[in-house]
Amino acid sequence: MSSKTNHIMGIDFGTHYACVGVFKNGRVEICPNQQGNRTTPSVVSFVGEDKLVGDEARAQMDRNPQNTIYDVKRILGRKTNEESFESEIKKLSFRVTTYEDNFDKIYFNVNYKEKNIEVTPIEITTNILQQIRHTAETFIGGDTIKKAVITVPTDYTEKQRKDLKDAAQAAGINVVRFIHEHSAVALAYGYDEKTAADDAVKHESNVMVFDLGGSGVSVSMVKIKSKLFEIIGNVSDHNVSGEHFDQVLFQHFTQEFNRKYKVDLKESARSKAKLKSACEKAKRNLSNMNQASVEIDSLYEGLDFFTNITRARFEDLAGSLFKSAIRAVSTLLEKCDMKKEQVDKVLLVGGGSRIPAIQSQLSAFFDQRAEIIDKSMNQEEVVAYGATLQANILSQMAPNQPTNSLSDKKISSGNTMTIEATNKTIGIEDSNGNLIPVIPALSLIPCKRTFNINNTQDAQTSLNMSVYQGDQSIAKDNQLISNLQFKYGSEPLEITFEVDKSSNLLISSKQSNFKIPLRK
């Protein structure tokens, strides 16, 4: 990568933290930010005349909660009529404005430069990505970097990808490819020098990626055969996340404070922010110690709060969350029609996977085969590491390489390859309101499907088609991608659905020459 224009970043845009890497001197380098930290908080804070991003913004969460935006990854590309949306925004310390007449409109209300303004999730994401880009450019000596591979969750919708891509473009970043976070983990695993000679890489094996992070628990099965990596199944549960464990502690300590002082902490946004920050710290400490202390001066109107909690008590309080996390593992095995004895390795990813109870229950689930639980990967950096490897691969590909070549399906470098696949079914609505699958979930990318529709009404000159993404049998229970209209004649209408190497869906017909990207 000697050319300034050939640099491609690998970015993990996480719920709580973002991480960026570059390929330098023949290896992946994770870029430290201005504070020397290798991850940057995904937080933006508006303070008087200033807009702070990253570590400085996170420091404002306790003292300026109403004007500090966090967890934007959860909200980006969402619709306000989604089942869990309302309950999720109630937990936030800042104000979110939605509109009943437009489920796509979401705004954050903040005070900036002595004015009340509205900012969008895309704008906040842009601010974070600008900071990340600056971190990478500073690390390589000031050269401009305009390209990136960005990772996304396996269940991220196309609308969410579209909004993330728009935010990146606003930050001056061209997204050369989105890849699944677990594909990045698998790629990092395959490149790890310690596993290069491992039978799990050299021969056929089943590797499970167990990811417990800020947005939920996500478990994928990766089949590895002769250094070919393919995700064959995924299960996600957004009701189990690092934040849910924080919330368990928050409820516990809130009740304790209320019993002691007869005061409802929930009346104060600043008090809630202070306690939530302390709960996150206590959770992290309990992964390394048997007891954690909480010490907050003036938590509420001059009232101090000093207490502690044992790991055993925390595990008791969070028992149902642990069960749900392990349930995702068993559900994945059922989905893949596999037995637990067939799993050769379990890779732990995400800060929540550090919790000892999670590790012990995973070991118990796999009949105490502790040797298959791999704790060696850096949970905060491994996704960015894999994304950077992918970026390096793409930087070495010829600019005019045919799009239908093998390397579009099997991204290769040396002897290692990853296979990308569609995360959910793409289909159309029939006259009875059912979803008719066109491209099934987990179809290898790129892929193409063509089908014909006969005109049963002589006077019909056009066809309206609703395209959805999801795995529910009723069309409207899935995400609407677009409403299309095709010209119709006496001949059968031939329609082609194609997912390209960047996971864009192109829809076309001979009659209309109509192409619509899925990220619309």
> Residue 473 above 60 pLDDT?
yes
Q: HEC string of 135-194?
A: HHHHHCCCCCCCEEEEEECCCCCHHHHHHHHHHHHHCCCEEEEEEEHHHHHHHHHHHCHH
Q: Which of 217-226, 376-385, 399-408, 431-440 has the lowest mean pLDDT?
A: 399-408
DSSP string, 244-284: HHHHHHHHHHHHHHHHHH---GGG-HHHHHHHHHHHHHHHH
Contact 26, 91 (CB under 8 A): no
> Residue 75 above 90 pLDDT?
yes
- Name the CATH topology of 197-373: Actin; Chain A, domain 4 (3.90.640)
What residues contact 69, with CB distance under 8 A and at least 6 apart? 43, 44, 45, 94, 108, 110, 119, 124
**Bridge pairing between strands 373-374 and 303-310:** unpaired
pLDDT at position 431 is 86
The whole-angstrom separation of Cα 19 and Cα 41 is 9
Question: Which CATH architecture does the domain made up of 426-509 adopt?
Answer: Sandwich (2.60)
> Residue 512 above 70 pLDDT?
no
Q: Which of 12, 137, 237, 380 is catalytic?
A: 12
Give me Rg for the CA atoms of the chain.
24
pLDDT at position 52 is 98
Q: Which of 195-199, 286-290, 295-299, 366-370 has the lowest mean pLDDT?
A: 195-199
> Residue 326 above 50 pLDDT?
yes
Q: Which of 117-126, 250-259, 417-426 has the lowest mean pLDDT?
A: 417-426
Query: Measuring CA to CA, which residue among 66, 65, 92, 68 is closest to residue 78?
Result: 92
73 is catalytic: yes
The whole-angstrom separation of Cα 308 and Cα 495 is 63
For residue range 475-511, what is the model confidence (pLDDT) as tens digits? Answer: 988 888 888 888 777 677 888 888 887 677 888 887 6
Q: Which of 158, 166, 181, 230 is catalytic?
A: 181
- The HSE-up count of residue 263 (CA atoms within 13 Å, CB side) is 16
> Residue 391 above 80 pLDDT?
yes
380 is catalytic: no
264 is catalytic: no
pLDDT at position 418 is 59
Q: Which of 211, 315, 374, 408 is catalytic?
A: 211
The whole-angstrom separation of Cα 379 and Cα 350 is 5
85 — pLDDT class (breaks 50, 70, 90): confident
The whole-angstrom separation of Cα 289 and Cα 74 is 30
For residue range 431-441, what is the model confidence (pLDDT) as tens digits? Answer: 899 999 998 87
Q: Report the run of H or E that residue 362 belongs to, with start and end.
A: helix 356-365
| Residue ranges per structural domain of the chain | 4-71+123-180+383-406, 197-373, 426-509
Number of Cβ within 10 Å of residue 264's Cβ equals 12
Contact 265, 254 (CB under 8 A): yes
Q: Which of 62, 71, 73, 276 is catalytic?
A: 73
Instruction: Determine if the pTM surpasses 0.85.
Output: no
458 is catalytic: no
Distance separating the N- and C-terminal Cα atoms of the chain: 34
For residue range 121-139, what is the model confidence (pLDDT) as tens digits? Answer: 999 999 999 999 999 999 9
DSSP state letter for 397: S
* Phi, psi (degrees; rounded to nearest 5) at 307: -155, 180
DSSP state letter for 84: T
Contact 21, 39 (CB under 8 A): no
Q: Report the run of H or E that residue 384 belongs to, with start and end.
A: helix 382-395
For residue range 5-63, what is the model confidence (pLDDT) as tens digits? Answer: 578 999 999 999 999 999 998 899 999 999 999 999 999 999 999 999 999 999 999 89
- Give the tokens for residue 104: 């796509």
- Name the CATH topology of 4-71+123-180+383-406: Nucleotidyltransferase; domain 5 (3.30.420)
